[in-house]
Amino acid sequence: MTDYTEQLEQFALEGEPVSAVRYGSGHINDTCLVTVSGSAGENKYILQRINTRIFENPQELMENIVRVTDFLRDKIQKRGGDPRRETLNVIPTKANESFYRDSKGECWRMYRFIDGAVSLDQVEKAEDLYQGGLAFGRFQQLLADFPAQTLHETIPDFHNTPKRLADFRRAVEEDICGLAAFVEPEIRFIMEREADTRVLMDMLAAGELPLRVTHNDTKLNNVMIDNQTGEGICVIDLDTVMPGLALNDYGDLIRFGASTAAEDERDLSRVSCDLTLAEACTRGFIEGCAGSLTKKELSMLPMGAKLMTLECGMRFLADYLQGDVYFKVHRKGHNLDRCRTQLKLVQDMEAKWTQLEAIVSKYAGAGL
């Protein structure tokens, strides 16, 4: 615990720290579980070091998180929920700041620990994806009247697919590692879908899709599942919360949740979009949104899934062409393997387009 003494002394804790141990499986921020003992008994907190190499402006990052969680807490209280478990609770410093910059210049924040719940790194059953979709849909519904345009962009153009395509095209043209000729089929696959990459951003610009508060990392392990009920109770990891499209949150949920294979699977025959899993995600998400999505948003949900998957594919391939400078790799050609799984998933989604649209229609009902 001595490693965190300086940091722990800065936060307004309900007791004295008795332990602080490394916690979780995250790859971005260093995290530890802190236990304190006080007059009211034992309390637990999560202490995190913010990765300022990725999130260069921790002030804006934490402003987003505090504003969104304050808003959520108010909504949850008004509907009779438990705001201590159904949203993250930021613990302020003794100086009433949202984070602390230590003597080495590192930035630290603290949340109240959500007891009696776990996050799942792997999908065990379709019900898990339903609960994940429900939680992310509820997140959308609760924040439907939050002024999204007032949030900071923690990573500018994060899901601006035309901008991602321009970056990809530049990587192909520069071809600094001399690999473009080797991946010509993958390059052609992406460029044949150039028109698709503009669809959602054009609709946003035309006012056909609303700007919303979006999570932008809708993996199952960013939902806390209650140990007793099995219900998804809280959305966590709000670092990428910013203005965006609800379709992107849904799309990334399908990309991650409905794939039959790992993101870096080499045997492409194992990669497909599982319609049972896609249905579980979709049912949960639409139910959680509870009528807050527009008719146009509902009709474009399959396109959200396709574009988030295509976008990931082109990002992996661009990184491969540039020498693996962004995504961490563990073997030669790792990013190329990742790209190929995403493109195969896009191809399979296109082949199952009618079924994906039917799934959305089934749960959107009169909303379409």
> Residue 121: inside a domain, yes or no?
no
Q: Does residue 188 surpass a pLDDT of 60?
A: yes
Same-domain pairing of 243 and 317: yes
Same-domain pairing of 320 and 203: yes
> Residue 91: inside a domain, yes or no?
yes
pLDDT confidence bin for 27, thresholds 50/70/90? very low
Last residue of a domain, one of 84, 115, 146: 115
Distance from C-alpha of 48 to C-alpha of 101, rounded to nearest angstrom: 12
Distance from C-alpha of 212 to C-alpha of 147, rounded to nearest angstrom: 8
Helices (H), 113-269: 126-142, 161-174, 184-191, 194-205, 246-257
| pLDDT tens for each residue of 224-277 | 999 999 999 999 999 999 999 999 999 999 999 999 999 999 999 999 999 999
Domain carrying residue 29: 2-115
pLDDT of residue 29: 57
User: Which residues make Cβ contacts (< 8 Å) with residue 348, sequence separation at least 6?
Assistant: 271, 272, 273
The residue that leads in pLDDT, 362 or 42, is: 362
Same-domain pairing of 241 and 341: yes
> Residue 120: inside a domain, yes or no?
no
Same-domain pairing of 130 and 266: yes
Distance from C-alpha of 74 to C-alpha of 80, rounded to nearest angstrom: 10
CATH number at residue 160: 3.90.1200.10
CATH number at residue 90: 3.30.200.20
Contact at 8 Å (CB) between 364 and 291? no
pTM, two decimal places: 0.94
Same-domain pairing of 71 and 137: no
Same-domain pairing of 170 and 318: yes
| pLDDT tens for each residue of 64-98 | 999 999 999 999 999 999 999 999 999 999 999 99
Same-domain pairing of 242 and 349: yes
Same-domain pairing of 105 and 188: no
> Residue 259: inside a domain, yes or no?
yes
Q: Which of 363, 365, 366 is nearest to 288 (CA)?
A: 363
Number of structural domains (the chain) is 2
